[in-house]
Each structure stands twice: as C-alpha cells, then as structure tokens.
Amino acid sequence: MRRIAFLTATRAEYGKIKSIMKLINEREEFTLSIFVTGMHMLREFGNTYYEIIKDGFEDIWLDHDYQYNKKMAPTLAHVVLSFSKFVEEEKPDMIVVHGDRLDALAGAIVGSFNNILVAHIEGGELSGTIDETIRHAISKLSHIHLVSNEEARCRLIQLGEDGSHIYVIGSPDIDIMLSKTLPSMREVCKRYGIRSDNVAIMAYHPVITELEALAENINTVIDALRQSGDSFVIIKPNNDPGNEVIREAYQGLAGDERFRILSSLRFEYFLSLLKNSKYIIGNSSAGIREACVYGIPAIDIGTRQQSRYSIEKLKNIMHCDHNVLQITTCMNNVEKHRVTSSVFGDGNSANLFYDILHTDIWDTPVQKKFVDMEM
C-alpha cells in the first residue's frame, strides 16, 4: 500500500489541503501520514496542531522541537532536519506540500534529495514578494504539480516544467468553502466571543523585504480602522519575521469593543465569518482567493499580494497603499465590489487529486529535465 505524506505548518495552509487529506484518509487504497511543524506548534499562534488531532487523523508526527526564530534560514534548516527524520521512519512514496512557505520548501528539498516523488499544490502563482521566489523554488524541486488554473500551468511550463506532470485541480480549500455543513454565524460569534454579526475582517502579515517600514505601515492601517466606525475581527499575523511588531501595535486596541483580536480560528469558522462579513481588509491571500468565491469585498493594502490577481478577473478587490485616505475611501466603496468570481476551481479538487492517484502518476521520473519552450 502506497504511503502519502503531507507536510503542514500553518493554520491557513492546513485549511486549504485538508479536504484532500480527509478523502485519502477515508479510503483504503493509500496510507496517510502527516508531519506537523511551524506555526501549528507555537502557543502564541494558537497551538493549532490540536485542530488536526480533533479532525480525526491518526498517523501524525508532531515537530515538538520547533521554536520560533526571527531568521528564516535557521528555521528552514531545522525543518529540513526534522522532516528528514520523519521521512526516514515513515518511508513515504509521495510527499505533498502546499504553497510558498519555507516549511514547504524544506519538504520539497528532503523529498527531492531522497528520490521521493514531491507533489506541489498551488505552484505557478504570483504574489510579488519573497514568497513568490520560494514558491517557484518549490516547483523546481517538485515532480508533480497540482495547480489552481490554466494560468498557473502556463507559468510552470515557462519555468521549464514538463506539461504532462502538471494537473489543473483548482484550489482545494474551495471544496470546504462550498460545503453545506459550515457552522452558522451565530455559532462563530458564540465560540469566539464576537459581539456583533456585522463585522469586517482584518488580516495583516509582515512583508519581510519591507520590515523597516512595518511599524509605520501597520499603525497607518490601524488609524484607518479607527476612523471607519466599523467593527472588526482582527486575526493575528503568521510567524514571519516582523510579526511581533504587528502584535505589539494591536495591543493599543485592547479594551475597544469594536475590535475582537484572535490568534486563529478553525478554518470552517473562518469561512463562515468571511462569508458573512462586510469586507476583508489587510494583505492576506484570503482577500484574494477565498473572498472572491463568496463575493466579499476585499481591500488589499501594500505589495504582499500585488502580483497575485488580475483586477479584470477579480472585481471584488480594491487595492491601495498604506495611506489613511486611500484606505478609508476603499472602505466607503465596498458595496460596489460585492462581486463573485471563480478563477481558482469549482470545489472538486479532492476528487480530482484522488483520481490522479489512480493513474500512472507513480511512474513520474524523479530525475527531472528542463523542458525548453519553442522559440
């Protein structure tokens, strides 16, 4: 029986891939194992590895030695070493990684160096920061590509990847987004102590190439939130360098009933909150990917997502700089951008991936070759 290993390191990325993990876990043709590291293991980020356990998965390897480090290189080194031990013990036939995090890069490095098939979900996308570079590096180390749309597929071909090893399956989180079993907004408010069901979402993360401006940028955003008069659920940032600057800035909102600050939410609860929100603001990819599916207006601030989307295709998005007037102007125009789009799939990614597992995908060569484009 073939063993498929998934690496997960963040609350958001886990939500995106767990529909695939659940389907594999429910069937008997394959054995599923999960390596859990990164943000999941940190108390200040919510100890979200508990959510993976609660979801009923059994073969889970917890990276208890993981510690937060402001520098990315030592963190990458740790995950490479820890995941190497996991691979040596579990001996997976395939490693599945997602997105553009350094933890996924570690997984791709270990798989590639051990002649294990690496499948990369959501490669070939743009974001505009160091994350984009990491994403492309993961793609070059991966043997199998599971992309969201045809645009991503074309970019991977530009990177020299073999088109026969690229599969368009959509974004797996949409499978859960379109589920009829999401909790109600009332349940969300009760579980997380949210006083109003008429709220906007704020999710803002550091851009590691712009750390010198981070304090000023986050305080500008907070000033705009204060001026708006709206109520917000603020989700604390990921564990990228600079996150402590954002967390410190949020302390100034303590005691203001308009702001509910949370370390994290279960993915299904976040989706219900997003689906019922006035808008989402910040620089999270949720404002680009998930918001468009529900037609929720998204105010995208700064450069973190600047290359990820096309205004022509995603009309729910408004972009602005770190400027109070620009931000508040966007807030005043959100209703004009309550537009639904579907450019990341139709909600059947897990089934498409599962079907691919029953093809000759297992014969994919681990020795990669660069494929030149026709000139």
Specify the pLDDT at position 148: 93
- Residue 343 three-state SS: coil
Q: Is 38 left (phi over 0), alpha (psi -120 to 50) or beta?
A: left
Q: Which two tokens stand for residue 347?
A: 């909600």
**Residue 293, H or E segment:** helix 290-294
Q: How does strand 200-203 pair with strand 166-168?
A: unpaired
Exposure string over 332-369, b if 16+ CB within 10 A, otherwise e: eebeebeeebebbbebbbbebbbeebeeebeebeeebe
Residue with tokens 């997003």: 274
pTM over 0.75: yes
Q: Which candidate, 290, 257, 260, 239, places its Cα nearest to that of 188?
A: 260
pLDDT on residue 150? 93
CA dist., res. 76 & res. 105, Å (int): 8
Tokens of 257: 């009933």
User: For residue 42, which phi and psi values (nearest 5 degrees)?
Assistant: -105, 125
Question: Which residue segments constitute the domains of the chain, with CATH numbers given?
Answer: 2-177+347-363 (3.40.50.2000), 185-337 (3.40.50.2000)
Question: pLDDT tens string for the chain (375 positions)?
Answer: 999 999 999 988 999 999 999 999 999 899 999 999 999 999 988 999 999 999 999 999 999 999 988 889 999 999 999 999 999 999 999 999 999 999 999 999 999 999 999 999 999 998 877 889 999 999 999 999 999 999 999 999 999 999 999 999 999 999 999 989 999 999 999 999 999 889 999 999 999 889 999 999 999 999 999 999 999 999 999 999 999 999 999 999 988 999 999 999 999 999 999 999 999 999 999 998 899 999 999 999 999 987 776 545 788 999 999 999 999 999 999 999 999 987 788 889 999 999 999 999 999 999 999 999 876
State the residue for tokens 């949020």: 250
